[in-house]
Structure 1
Amino acid sequence: MTFKLFPPAKKIKTTSAELSLTGRRYIRLLKPCSDTLTDAIRRFADGTTVSLSLTLGNPDTDQVLLTIDPGSGPTTVGSYELKSDSDGILLRARNEPGIYYGLTTLNQILEQAGTSASHFLVQDEPDFATRGVMLDISRCKVPSMKTLYRLIDQLAQMKINQLQLYTEHTFEFVQHPLIWADASPMTAEEMVELKAYCQERFIELVPNLNSFGHFERWLRYPEYHHLAECPNGFTHPLSNQHKKFGSTLKPSRQSLAFLRELYDEYLPLFDSPYFNVGGDEPWELGQGWSRKKCGKLGTTGVYISFMAKIQKLVESSGKRMMFWGDIALKEPEMLQHLSRDLIALNWGYESNHPFKTECEQLAAQNIPFYVCPGTSSWNSIIGRISNARTNLSNAARNGLRYGAKGYLITDWGDQGHHQYLPFSYPGFLIGACQSWNSRGSSRLDLEEGLNLTFLKGGTSCAAGLLVELGKVSDAAQSRLRNATVFNQLLFWDMTEEPESAQSISDKQLKQCELLLADIRSRAKLMSPDADGNPFSGELLNAIDMASHGIHRLQIFRGKKISRNRLRKDLTRIIHRHEDLWLMRNRTGGLEESTAYLQRSLHAIG
C-alpha cells in the first residue's frame, strides 16, 4: 500500500507484510515527557478510529499499537523516524517537535490504513526550521476564534510551526478605542488564549504590528495627524492619485514614543522571541515632515535609520525584530547598513519574483532572512493556483539555496478581503509542503492533498472544484499583478475598459464564462454543508462574483445583457456575501467590504 502524505516525507518505504491494528489498544511511552506533548499524544489517540490509552507500563506486545521513544532517533529539531513491523509501530525522535510531527504523519497513515497497515519505514526532517503562515486580520476580515482554532489545527497537521496575525488597527489598545471601535478587534485575553492554543500544537505565535507604513487606519483621524509624515494627505506614487490622509508615521521621536506605548501593551502577551514590525511600503516618506532629511540622506537612508531606532525599542522589550525587506532591497548597496541582529522578510507574490537575486543579495551581506511567498488568493475572487505553485516553489528553492532561516506563507486581504478562506487552502497546502520537503513536493497532487487536509470529511468533489476554479484565470491571461481580471472587472466603474482587459478577446471571455458555469452546475450538486460549514455557499458566490465581472465587460463591449439583470445579480451576491462573512468572521469590517460591492452596484447605472 502506498501512503499519501502531506507534506511528503523525505523517505518512506513499505513492504507487502501487514500489521493488524485489531486489538491494539495502547500507546506506550518509554519515558515521561512534557505536559504539552502528553496532551498532544492524548489528542492523537482520541482522533484515531482505534480506542487507545496512554501508558508508561509494559503491556503485552500484541496490545501495543504505538511505542514512543523520546530518547533516541534523529537529532535535527523536528526530525523523526516511524517504523512498523509485526510488533507494532515505533516512533523515535530526540526532541518533542519531532515526536509531534511523527504523530501527524502517523495520523495520516492510519486514516488511510483501515484495519491493517503495510509495514513501513518513514525517516523525515524539515527543509526549513521555521515554517510559518501570516494571516491578514486588518483588511476588513477578523476571523472568529472558532475559525482561528480550526485553521490552527489544520496548519499543525501540516507541520506549520509559526503563525503571525498581520495587524494594523485590529487589536484592542485600551487607550485608542477610536481606532478599533468598528473593527471587532482581537482582545488581549483572546490573544493569550490563542497563544496557548498554538503552543499546545507546537506553533509559535509571533506578534505582528505594522509600525511605520500602512498606518492609514490611525492617521485618518485628526487626533493622530501630529504623527503623520503627511497629515493632509499625499500623492500615491503608484496610482498618482491624491490620498486624503497619510499612511506613514513621520520618523520622529514623537512617533517612537507612541510606538513605545503600543509595544508596552502588546508585546508582553507573547512568549515568542520575535516581533514583526512590518515597515513595508511607506509610500509618502520624504514628501512631508522628513523631506529635508531625505534630501540629504536619501529616502532609503532615512528609512534604515528610523528602522534602527524601532529595532532598539523592540530589543528593549526582549524581542528580535523582523521587518519586510522591500525598501532596503530597492537599493541593495544600502543593505550593508542593516543590523545583523534582525530578520529581513523577503516577500514577493508573482511567479517570476526575483527571489534568486534578492536572496543572494541578503546572503552576501550575512543578513538573516525568511522567504515570504503568498497564497495568491487575494484580489482574485477564485484563486490563482498556477501562480501560487510557481511562486511558492520558487521561494523554497532559492531560500534553501541561499540559507534562509524560515519560510513564511502570506495571505492578504487587500481591497475588502472578498476572497473566501477556502481559496487560500491550496496556497497553504502547497506552501506547507514546499517548506517541509521542497524537492518531494514538485509533483504535488493538490486535489488529493486538499481532500486529506483542509477538506477532510467533505464532499469528495469539493477539492476538484476548488482546484478547477483556481485555474480559470489561466484562460484569460493579463498583465495584472497580484490579481485576476475577474476581480478587477467586478469592481470596475464601467466607464473606460481597463488596460489589463484589452488583451482578452471576446472568445476568451466566453470560454471563462462557460468554465465558471460548468463548475457552478457541479457545485450545486454538492451535498449541503454540515455543522455550519459555509464551503459550498462560498464556492457558489465566488463563481457568481467572477461571472458578474465578465458580464460587466461583455455589456461594455456591446453584448445584449440587461443592466437590470446585472443589478439583481449583484444585489443577490451582496446579500450572500454578508451572510457568508458572518459564518467565519466577526462583524467588524463587513460594512467596509460590502461598500466596495455597493459602489460596483451603483456604477451599473
Structure 2
Amino acid sequence: MSVSEACESILEGLEAGRIDIIKSIIDHVTNNKGTDFLLEVLSNDCCQEGTILHKAVRIGSSDAVRALLMAGSDPGILNSNGVSVLDSIDDTSFPSLLQVFTEDLFRNIAGSATDRIIILLNSGISLDVVDSDKTKNSCLHWAASFGSPDTISLLLARGAQVNALNSEGATPLHDAVLRADPRVVQLLLDSGSDVNSVILSGKYAEKSALDLAEGKEEISTMLRDQSLKKETNVTEEPGGNVEKLDEDKNIDTKKEKAGLEEISTITSQELKSKSLKLALDRRFGLLWPTPQVVEQLAGADVEIPKHLYLVVESQSNNRISAHQLLDVWDLFREDLEGLGYSASVKRFDLSGQSSAGPGEIQLAVNSSLGEQDFTLVLTEKKIKMIGGGVTGVQYAVSTFLQILQLFRNVGIPPVSIKDRPMLTHRAALLDLAPYGRLPTVSTLLNLVRILSNMKLNKIYLYSRLSSTPDWQLNYSPGDLISIDRECSDRQMELIPALDIVQPCAFIELPKYTQVFSRVVSCFSSLNLVSLGPCLSSVIFSAARIIGCNQVFGQIWNILSVPSNTQLILCSNSVLNLENMVEDFPSSVSLIDYGFQANYPFESNLHHLSRSGNPVLCCPGTSAWNCLIGRPQNMIHNIAQAAKAIAEYGGEGLVIANWTGSPALTHLSTALPGWVLGAGLAWNTKAADTINLGVLGEILSHHIFQDSTGGSGSAVVELGLAECSLDQVYPDQQLQTSLLLSSILRPGNLHLEKVSLEQLGAVIQTSRRCLSKLQGCREVVEGEGEVEGLLQEVTLGAELLLLAARLSRGLLQAGEYKIELLQPTFKTDIANKLLALIEQYRAVWLSRYLPGGLQDTMLHLSNLLTLLLPESSQVTL
C-alpha cells in the first residue's frame, strides 16, 4: 500500500461516515508499514482541503477528528492556501470540534507525551483552555494530577498560570499534594505556587495545601519550609545566595527538619525489621519473590543429602489428603533431579505426630495459615515445609528448590522463612495476536512452570475476536484445555481475556456471543473473565448513555458466562467519569492498563477508588517493537504500578506482554518483566529496593539456572544498550527502536543525532554479552527449556550486533544509503544476516507456532536483498 492509496482509503471511510473503517485502516497501516509511514500519510496534502484532518474538520465529524488526532495527525500543518486545521474551524457551525482538540491536549498531558504536547501547542491550541465549563481545570491542573515533572516544566515554560483556580477554587498545588508526589510539589513551589491558598468549595472546601498534606511527612515539611520563607521574608539573590533575615528562626527550622528526617529514618528501619529479617548470607537475598521474613538461625550449616525422605502429615479432618501433598511434590520432581537430588516417601503421619528427623522433609498443612501462606525451616534436625493449603505447600517446595540452586554443592546456613503474598491477584498476560510471538503448546507449558515457580497464580490469554463464528485462535480447543489443566495442576488460574477487533454499537455485541461461548468453554474456571480495552469501551459508552443497570444486566448473557463470574473491565476510558463508576455492580473489577514509564497509576487508582470495586494495575514488559527489551522503562513502569496498588489497597498486578509486528523479539525478552512483576506482586515493598543488577542475578539463578550470573546480566545489558540510542529519539521510545528500524527500514533511518561512539559502545556490549552467553550455555549443558531460552537471548544479541554494525556503516557512508556502503562490508553483513535467518528459522520452528514466522522472514530477506540485490530472497 502506497501513501496515496492509504490516503484514498481513509478519505473514502471519512466520506462514508465510517469511523470504524478509518480506525481499521490506521491500525492496518501502523501494523504493516509502521508509525513513520502512518505519519507520512496523515501529513500528506491529499485532498482539496489539505490533509485528511482538514477534510474531517470541514465535514464536522468530531469522531473522525478524534481518531485522527489519536493516530498522530498534526493540526499545525498548513494546506496549499497556508491555512492550518484550527484556522479552518468555524466555531459557530461546529462548536464541539474545538473541544476535541482540547481533549487531545489534556489526554497527552495526562500521558506525559511532551513531544505531542509541543506539537499541539505549536498548532495554536491555547494554554488557557479548560477541560470543561463545569470543572474548569487548567492544563497545569491536569499535569499536577497526572503528568511527569518534565510535562509540568514544559507547561510552566510556555506560560501556564501556576496559581490558576478551577471551579472549586483549587490550584494545581492542591492537586499535586493530593497526588502525593514530592517532585511535583517541589516543582510547583519553586515556580511560585501559593502555599496559603484555600479551596473554596467541594469535598476539600476550606483546606489549604498543608491541610491536604496531613500524614505525608515529606510534603508537609516542604510546604512548611516554603511558608516559613514567606513569613521570614527570605530573599534570593540572582546568584543563588539566600539572605536569611531571621537567623534564629532559620536555625530552629533546620533543627525541626533534621528531627523529622531522623524520625522518618527510624520509622523506615522499624518497618523493615518487622517485615523482613535480613539473613547474613547474601544468597538468601536472591530468593524471589523476596520473602517477608528470612531469619538465619544459629547452628552449623545444613548438608542436604542427595536422597531425601518425605514424611507427610495427613489431617484427621481430611480437608487436604496426604496424596494431594504428594501431587505437589511430584510437580517439582524433574527440577529436583536436575539439581542432582531425588526423593521418596518414607511414611505418613497423623497431624501433630510427625517424627521427621535429619535428612527428612516434613510436609504438612496448618489450617490457621492462609491458603497461600507458608513456613520453611532448614536445620540439622529436619526440614519443615508447612503451608496453609496445597498452594502454600507448593510455594514452600518452590522456595526450597531456589535455596538448593543458590547453595549448590555447599552447606546451607540454618534458616527460618515465613511468607505470605501481599496481593491476591498476581498474573501474567500473553497476547495471542496471530502475527506475534506465539509459543508452541510445549513452550507455553514450560512457561506456565516458570511463572508458577515465581509464585504467580494467574495467566491471562488475551485475544481480539471478530463476530465471525469460526474458531479464530491459533490454539485449538484441545490445546487450551491442555494449558488449562497444567495451570490447574500448579494452583494457577487460566483466565480468558476477551476483546473485539474494532468498536461497535452495544446492540451489535450479541453477534459475538457464539464466538465468546466457544472460547470460554475451554476454560475450567470462569470465576474471572477479563474484557479488553475495546470491548470495555463499548460497554462503558453504552452505560453512559442508557445507564449501568440496563447495560450490565445483559453482559453476562452476551459473554455466555455464569452470572457469578467476576468481570474485569479496562478502566482507562472511564477514569474521568467518577459519577458513573459509583454505579458499577460489585461483580465488576477494574483494571488500569499502562505501559509508559511515567504512566499515572497512582492518580488513576485514586480516581477509581470512588467506585468501591476491586482494582488492578496492568503495566507492560516493554518487550514489543524492539530487539531485546527496554529494562529501564520496564522496571520503572512495574514498580510504579506495584506502589500504586499498595497505596490504594488494590487487588493485584497483571504484567502484560503485548505483541508487535514483525515479531523479531522472542518470548524470553518478556521474562524480565514477568519475573519482576511476580516479585513485586508478592512483596510490594521490594519496589523500593529492586534494581537491574539484582534482577539480572535473579534471572540467572532462577530462570537460566546459571551459577555464573552472566546470562541474566547479559539480558539486562543488551536491553540497556539498545535503549541508549533510543534516548536520542524520545518520540520513538514506545514505538520502534532505532536498531530495529535499521533492520526493518534501513533506507529511512535518521542517524543525525547518533554518534559513532554510541554505536561502537553498543557493538562492544553485544560482543561482550555474546561471550557471556556462550560461557553460560557451556555451564548449563542442557537441551531443554533453559537451553531454548538461552538460544533466544543469543539470537537477540546477534541481531542487535548486526543492526549496530549496519547503522555504523550507514553513518560512515554519510547519506544513510545502503548503496553507498563498501561492497566488502555489504557482503560481510549479508553473510551474517543469512546465517541469522537460518538460526531464526530453526529457533522459531522449534519453539513457536509458524504463524509469525513468514512476516519475520519477509523483513529479514528484504534486508538481505537490499544488501545483495543480485541474491534471491530467502525461501519462506
Same fold (TM over 0.5): yes
Are 1:80 and 2:374 an aligned pair? Answer: yes
Are 1:202 and 2:491 an aligned pair? Answer: yes
Structure 1 residue identity aligned to 2:518:
E
Are 1:140 and 2:413 an aligned pair? Answer: no
| C-alpha deviation, 1:203, in angstroms | 0.6
| C-alpha deviation, 1:124, in angstroms | 0.7
**Equivalent residue of 2:413, what SS?**
strand
Corresponding residue number in structure 2 for 1:68? 363
Q: For 2:306 and 2:866, locate their aligned partners in 1 and report how far apart those are by CA, in whole Å.
A: 67
Corresponding residue number in structure 2 for 1:26? 309
1:13-71: CA deviations, max 9, x gaps? 11241344449743222215255443012334664314332531378643562223313
Q: For 2:757 and 2:681, locate their aligned partners in 1 and report how far apart those are by CA, in whole Å.
A: 39
Q: For 2:734 and 2:324, locate their aligned partners in 1 and report how far apart those are by CA, in whole Å.
A: 40
Q: For 2:757 and 2:303, locate their aligned partners in 1 and report how far apart those are by CA, in whole Å.
A: 57
Q: Larger relative contact order (C-alpha < 8 A, sep ≥ 6)?
A: 1
Structure 2 residue identity aligned to 1:592:
D
Corresponding residue number in structure 2 for 1:511? 761
| C-alpha deviation, 1:396, in angstroms | 0.5
Q: For 1:193 and 1:394, locate their aligned partners in 2 and report how far apart those are by CA, in whole Å.
A: 35
**Equivalent residue of 2:521, what SS?**
helix
| C-alpha deviation, 1:390, in angstroms | 1.1
Structure 2 residue identity aligned to 1:151:
L
1:555-581: CA deviations, max 9, x gaps? 554526347345444444333322221
Structure 1 residue identity aligned to 2:329:
I
Q: For 1:546 and 1:164, locate their aligned partners in 2 and report how far apart those are by CA, in whole Å.
A: 30
1:453 to 694, 702, 706: 702
**Equivalent residue of 2:533, what SS?**
coil
Deviates more, 1:536-545 or 1:265-274: 536-545
> Which aligned pairs between 1:214-363 and structure 2 lie closer than 5 A?
215=501, 248-253=502-507, 255-270=508-523, 271-280=525-534, 309-314=554-559, 316-318=561-563, 319-329=565-575, 335-336=581-582, 338-363=584-609
Q: For 1:463 and 1:104, locate their aligned partners in 2 and report how far apart those are by CA, in whole Å.
A: 20
CA RMSD in angstroms, aligned pairs only: 3.5
Distance 1:332 1:582, change over 3 A: farther
| C-alpha deviation, 1:433, in angstroms | 0.9
Q: For 2:762 and 2:547, locate their aligned partners in 1 and report how far apart those are by CA, in whole Å.
A: 44
Structure 1 residue identity aligned to 2:591:
L
Are 1:473 and 2:473 an aligned pair? Answer: no
**Equivalent residue of 2:497, what SS?**
coil
The TM-score normalised by the length of structure 1 is: 0.81
**Equivalent residue of 2:459, what SS?**
strand
Structure 2 residue identity aligned to 1:15:
L
| C-alpha deviation, 1:188, in angstroms | 1.3
1:501-556: CA deviations, max 9, x gaps? 65444432333233223333544555466316334443343233334444554455
| C-alpha deviation, 1:161, in angstroms | 0.4
Q: For 1:492 and 1:443, locate their aligned partners in 2 and report how far apart those are by CA, in whole Å.
A: 34
Q: For 1:557 and 1:325, locate their aligned partners in 2 and report how far apart those are by CA, in whole Å.
A: 45
CA contact (8 A) 1:379 1:487 kept: no
Q: For 1:470 and 1:484, locate their aligned partners in 2 and report how far apart those are by CA, in whole Å.
A: 14
Q: For 1:536 and 1:336, locate their aligned partners in 2 and report how far apart those are by CA, in whole Å.
A: 49
| C-alpha deviation, 1:269, in angstroms | 2.2
2:741 to 486, 489, 493: 489
Structure 2 residue identity aligned to 1:542:
G
Are 1:593 and 2:845 an aligned pair? Answer: no
**Equivalent residue of 2:428, what SS?**
strand
Deviates more, 1:458-467 or 1:445-454: 458-467
Corresponding residue number in structure 1 for 2:127? none
Are 1:5 and 2:287 an aligned pair? Answer: yes
> Which aligned pairs between 1:368-379 and structure 2 lie closer than 5 A?
368-379=614-625
Structure 1 residue identity aligned to 2:821:
I
Q: Percent identical across equivalent pairs? A: 19
**Structure 1 runs of 4+ off > 6 angstroms?**
297-300, 302-308
Distance 1:56 1:598, change over 3 A: same
Are 1:15 and 2:310 an aligned pair? Answer: no
1:469-516: CA deviations, max 9, x gaps? 122134221312435623542355345445xx6544443233323322
Q: For 1:596 and 1:70, locate their aligned partners in 2 and report how far apart those are by CA, in whole Å.
A: 55
Q: For 2:386 and 2:594, locate their aligned partners in 1 and report how far apart those are by CA, in whole Å.
A: 38
Corresponding residue number in structure 1 for 2:418? 123
Q: For 1:137 and 1:119, locate their aligned partners in 2 and report how far apart those are by CA, in whole Å.
A: 45
Q: For 1:537 and 1:23, locate their aligned partners in 2 and report how far apart those are by CA, in whole Å.
A: 31
Q: For 1:279 and 1:603, locate their aligned partners in 2 and report how far apart those are by CA, in whole Å.
A: 39
Are 1:538 and 2:792 an aligned pair? Answer: yes
CA contact (8 A) 2:711 2:772 kept: no
Corresponding residue number in structure 1 for 2:234? none
1:341-383: CA deviations, max 9, x gaps? 2122211112211111111111132232211112111112111
Corresponding residue number in structure 2 for 1:237? none
Q: For 1:336 and 1:59, locate their aligned partners in 2 and report how far apart those are by CA, in whole Å.
A: 53
Corresponding residue number in structure 2 for 1:149? 445
In structure 2, the gaps of 5 or more residues are 1-279, 814-819, 870-876
**Equivalent residue of 2:310, what SS?**
strand
Structure 2 residue identity aligned to 1:261:
Q
Corresponding residue number in structure 1 for 2:690? 443
| C-alpha deviation, 1:186, in angstroms | 1.1
Deviates more, 1:307-316 or 1:467-476: 307-316
Q: For 2:712 and 2:722, locate their aligned partners in 1 and report how far apart those are by CA, in whole Å.
A: 17
In structure 1, the gaps of 5 or more residues are 216-247
Q: For 1:525 and 1:45, locate their aligned partners in 2 and report how far apart those are by CA, in whole Å.
A: 27
CA contact (8 A) 1:381 1:486 kept: no
**Equivalent residue of 2:526, what SS?**
coil
Q: For 2:512 and 2:616, locate their aligned partners in 1 and report how far apart those are by CA, in whole Å.
A: 24
Q: For 2:295 and 2:665, locate their aligned partners in 1 and report how far apart those are by CA, in whole Å.
A: 40
CA contact (8 A) 2:331 2:490 kept: no
1:148-184: CA deviations, max 9, x gaps? 11111111111110011222369xx99516x56xxxx
The TM-score normalised by the length of structure 2 is: 0.57
Q: Which has the larger radius of gyration?
A: 2
| C-alpha deviation, 1:132, in angstroms | 0.6
Structure 1 residue identity aligned to 2:530:
N
Distance 1:44 1:379, change over 3 A: same
Distance 1:135 1:340, change over 3 A: same
Distance 1:117 1:546, change over 3 A: closer
1:199-256: CA deviations, max 9, x gaps? 111111111222x3xx2xxxxxxxxxxxxxxxxxxxxxxxxxxxxxxxx142253x32
**Equivalent residue of 1:82, what SS?**
strand
CA contact (8 A) 2:704 2:790 kept: no
Deviates more, 1:516-525 or 1:469-478: 516-525
Distance 1:507 1:143, change over 3 A: same
Are 1:561 and 2:821 an aligned pair? Answer: yes
Deviates more, 1:4-13 or 1:471-480: 471-480
Q: For 2:346 and 2:609, locate their aligned partners in 1 and report how far apart those are by CA, in whole Å.
A: 46
Distance 1:526 1:29, change over 3 A: closer
Q: For 2:342 and 2:372, locate their aligned partners in 1 and report how far apart those are by CA, in whole Å.
A: 26
Distance 1:60 1:555, change over 3 A: closer
Corresponding residue number in structure 1 for 2:148? none
CA contact (8 A) 1:375 1:427 kept: yes
Distance 1:384 1:23, change over 3 A: closer
1:277-318: CA deviations, max 9, x gaps? 2134999x8xxxx9xxx9xx8997699897875455237534
